[in-house]
Amino acid sequence: MKKIIFILFISLVTLLNSMSKRADINSTDDWEYNSTQIFEDTLNAPMVGSIRSRAMSTKAFAPAPKIGLAVGGAKDTNNFKANIENGYLPKIDSITYEGQFYNHYFDTGLGDRECKELFCPSYSTAKRFNPFSKAQEYFLSVGLNSGIDIKDFKRKKLNLVVVLDISGSMGASFNSYYYDKIGNRIETKEKNQKTKMQIATESIVAMLSHLKDDDRVGIVLFDNKAYRAKPLRMVLLSNKEAIRDHILALKEQGGTNWSAGYQEGLKLFDEVKLTKEYENRIVFLTDAMPNSGELRKDRLFGLAKEASKRGIHTTFIGVGVDFNNDLVEYVSKTRGANYFSVHSSKEFKKLLDKEFDYMVTPLVYDLTLKLDSKKYKIDAVYGSPDAKLSTGEIMEVNTLFPSSNENGETKGGIILLKLKKILEGNSDIKLKVSYTNINGKAFSNRQDVSFKQNQYYDNSGIRKAILISDFVTIMKNWIMDARAGCNDNVKWIMEDYITLSKRCMVFPLKRAIFPTIKTWERKSCKLKVSEGYMKLFQTFKRYFLKEMSEIKDDSLKLELNILDTLLKQKPQEFDKKKSSDDWQFIQK
């Protein structure tokens, strides 16, 4: 008997050794990028779990039975907040309505109704008097609901290509601030001593830990040239620990050629057959500031738009406070695209633990809301990167992604419309929603809504969305006026509180100054608040606190803290006697 047990034991050991050797043969270190510089400081902690683990436990989503939906485009406003904290005037597109909405959870107004479809819009209405103009305003919110159970949600297999900027500026730490067009280094208050390259590589390692064995991953690096670092290959066949070490050992060097990097990333997809079984996505990480020339068809943003037509979608990740948001805003309107900003690998890993499968899985395309009414028309759209494409009758959204749903509320799960009453009287508003799924199948939905008497909010979700949209509108108008002042436009600095209070709630796209603002944004401006805006922020803070108390939502402290930071600034002063005409260009 002992002999038999011994033989079985020897056989088992032999089998395990054989399996281990076969695994070693199949698991290949397929890293192709060669660098003579070795990154000395690597993470001590091993990669979390195997690369197969999804690190998205059901416990995180247990309170809610269904997933929610949120629009594509900007997924945060981290750069806006970071600029203010570091004492600099943000860019106007560093804060977007959809990005600010995605910082919060909303009651979508679905109530007890059951959703059984891929997308079930729910509508809520509200009437209020504007806190500054006192004018009567009408709002309609579109709640973004899905009938997909959280336990049943499963993303497609993934062809993932990571394109990483390794140019010289990635060696800067987060206590340096590369903002000016010419790359002037300005010291900031940021205490994080890690370099952008460290933050980026640690974030990539965290992201790759969410891939499954039957996903494919490839890696491209770029400075002034592009380098294929790893072919697009099944995760099962890659040596995960070796690839991890290669990524963490990367060093920054050279200039920046975004389009070369993106084109090399696209080439990796030529090596595999693109099928409906796989979601195809490029994750593009950079800290640099592309210029408007990158909008051309053969440059970065034009390439991303063309790639989307092939079913290859893009996630842009900005590394650092100096990421150029305005052009990414253009890209985020591209089908299937989204954008995140990273300031801490720890915070980004936390985000990925909950949302990786969501950020790479578009579910709804070409959403169109048609409003049929003789009494109302669409005046403004808050919460969609396609707001410019919306008209008096049509609202358009190119992509909806899955989103977290907790305690019946959805993260970023709302779009807000401001309606303008064009005829007296009251009547139902007929709404028709049309959209397609990822396979191109078309769907539609029709509902009627109407406004009630007096001032009211259907629910806390629409009230919260209105308050947050007020905040974003005021911030955008302040940025426009402050940047005009930074560029020696005396008029904007000298305007008083009364004048500003009439303008602060104007939808930014309707300001005459809006088309020119991006031509002023290339230089850094110190954070300053005029006396008029200081009074305006004080008035708005009182209104904000009152609404926050009614809504009973502590998450609104995010906006409140920013208001407090601005109110601590010394009011900007301007002395006409010290001003001078410093224009030097003489046209011949």
Calculate mean pLDDT across residues 143-164. 94
Backbone angles phi, psi at 11, to 5 degrees: -65, -40
> What 3-state class would DSSP assign to 218?
strand
**Residue percentage of the chain with pLDDT more than 90:** 52
Domain boundary among 437, 456, 475: 456
* DSSP label of 584: -
Average pLDDT on 534-547 reads 96
* pLDDT above 50 (res 404): yes
> Given this model, what pLDDT does residue 6 score?
54
Strand partners, 419: 138, 378
Across 106-111, average pLDDT: 95
| pLDDT digits 0-9 by tens, 168-223 | 988 887 655 544 444 444 554 445 578 889 999 999 999 999 999 999 999 999 99
pLDDT band for 347, please (50, 70, 90 cuts): confident
Considering the domain boundaries, does residue 487 fall inside one? yes
Q: What is the mean pLDDT of residues 465-485?
A: 93
Query: In 339-459, which ranges are continuous DSSP H helix?
Result: 345-359
Measure CA 245 to chain center.
Answer: 28
Q: Confidence class of residue 79 from pLDDT cuts 50, 70 and 90?
A: confident
What is the reported pLDDT for 277?
92
Distance, in Å, from the CA atom of 267 to the CA atom of 226, rounded to the nearest integer, reads: 11
Q: What does the alpha-carbon distance between residue 290 and residue 259 come to, in Å, rounded to a whole number?
A: 10
Residue 248, pLDDT > 90, answer: yes
Residue 491: per-residue pLDDT: 60
Residues 491 and 532 in one domain: yes
Rounded to two decimals, the pTM is: 0.84
User: Would you say residue 237 lies in a domain?
Assistant: yes
Evaluate whether residue 15 is within a structural domain: no
Judgement on whether residues 167 and 262 belong to the same structural domain of the protein: yes
- Give a yes or no: residue 582 inside a domain: no
Tell me what pLDDT residue 229 has. 95
Domain boundary among 359, 392, 424: 359
* Range 432-436 contact pairs with CB under 8 angstroms and sequence separation of 24 or more: 432/369, 432/370, 432/372, 433/119, 433/121, 433/142, 433/367, 433/368, 433/369, 433/370, 434/366, 434/367, 434/368, 434/370, 435/119, 435/364, 435/365, 435/366, 435/367, 435/368, 435/400, 436/364, 436/365, 436/366
User: Is 160 in the same domain as 279?
Assistant: yes
- Asked if pLDDT for residue 582 goes beyond 60, the answer is no
Claim to verify: residue 200 and residue 315 sit in the same structural domain: yes
So what's the pLDDT on residue 24?
45
Domain assignment present for residue 308? The answer is yes
Rounded to an integer, the average pLDDT of 338-356 is: 85
Rounded Cα distance between 17 and 25, Å, is 12
Residues 440 and 490 in one domain: no
pLDDT at 492: 57
Are residues 472 and 548 part of one domain? yes
pLDDT at 58 over 60: no
Task: Report pLDDT for 20.
Answer: 45
Please enumerate in sequence order all residues whose Cβ is within 8 A of that of 495, keeping only pairs 6 or more positions apart, or say none: 481, 530, 532
- 2-6, 288-292, 302-306, 454-458: the lowest-pLDDT one: 2-6
pLDDT of residue 325: 55
Q: Give the count of domains, the chain.
A: 3
**Does the structure show a pLDDT above 60 at 135?**
yes
Q: Does the pLDDT at position 495 exceed 90?
A: no
Q: Could you tell me if 227 and 338 lie in one domain?
A: yes
Inform me whether the pLDDT recorded for 324 exceeds 70. no
* Residue 165 shares a structural domain with residue 126: no
Cβ neighbour number for residue 271 with a 10 Å cutoff: 11
CATH of residue 263: 3.40.50.410
* Residues whose CB is less than 8 angstroms from the CB of residue 505 and which lie 6 or more positions away in sequence, other chains included: 130, 132, 133, 470, 473, 474, 477
pLDDT of residue 292: 60
Least reliable range by pLDDT among 101-105, 486-490, 514-518: 486-490
Task: Give the count of alpha carbons within 13 A of 357, CB side only.
Answer: 20
Mean pLDDT calculated for residue range 41-52 = 30
Range of the domain at 252: 156-359
Q: What is the pLDDT of residue 387?
A: 77
Is residue 41 in some structural domain?
A: no
* Lookup: tokens for 282: 């490029």
Over residues 381-407, the mean pLDDT reads 88
22: pLDDT confidence band, cut at 50, 70 and 90?
very low
Q: Say yes or no: 315 and 374 in one domain.
A: no
Band (51; pLDDT cuts 50, 70, 90)? very low
Give yes or no: residues 318 and 208 share one domain. Answer: yes
d(CA 198, CA 204): 10
CA 390 to chain CA centroid, Å, is 21
Q: What is the pLDDT at residue 231?
A: 95
Q: Mean pLDDT lowest for which of 25-29, 127-131, 226-230, 277-281?
A: 25-29
Same-domain pairing of 164 and 146: no
Question: Mean per-residue pLDDT for 277-305?
Answer: 82
Tokens of 89: 């005037």
Mean predicted lDDT score pLDDT of the chain: 82
More confident residue, 362 or 328: 362
Q: What is the model's pLDDT at position 391?
A: 81
Q: Work out the number of other CB atoms within 10 angstroms of the CB of residue 288.
A: 22
> Which residues does 516 contact at the CB level (< 8 Å), separation at least 6?
none
Residue 530 sits at the vertex; the CA angle it makes with 529 and 534, to the nearest 5 degrees, is 75
In the prediction, which pLDDT does 228 show?
95
Is the pLDDT at 379 greater than 90? The verdict is yes
Residue 127 belongs to some domain of the structure: yes
Last residue of a domain, one of 326, 359, 392: 359
197 inside domain: yes
Across 568-582, average pLDDT? 60
Task: Indicate whether 183 and 268 sit together in one domain.
Answer: yes
Mean pLDDT within 309-313:
93
Half-sphere exposure of 386 (CA within 13 A, CB side): 24
Select the more confidently predicted residue: 560 or 185. Answer: 560
Comparing 177-181, 383-387, 488-492, 511-515, which segment has the lowest mean pLDDT?
Answer: 177-181
**What pLDDT does residue 86 have?**
83
Is residue 57 scored above 50 in pLDDT?
no
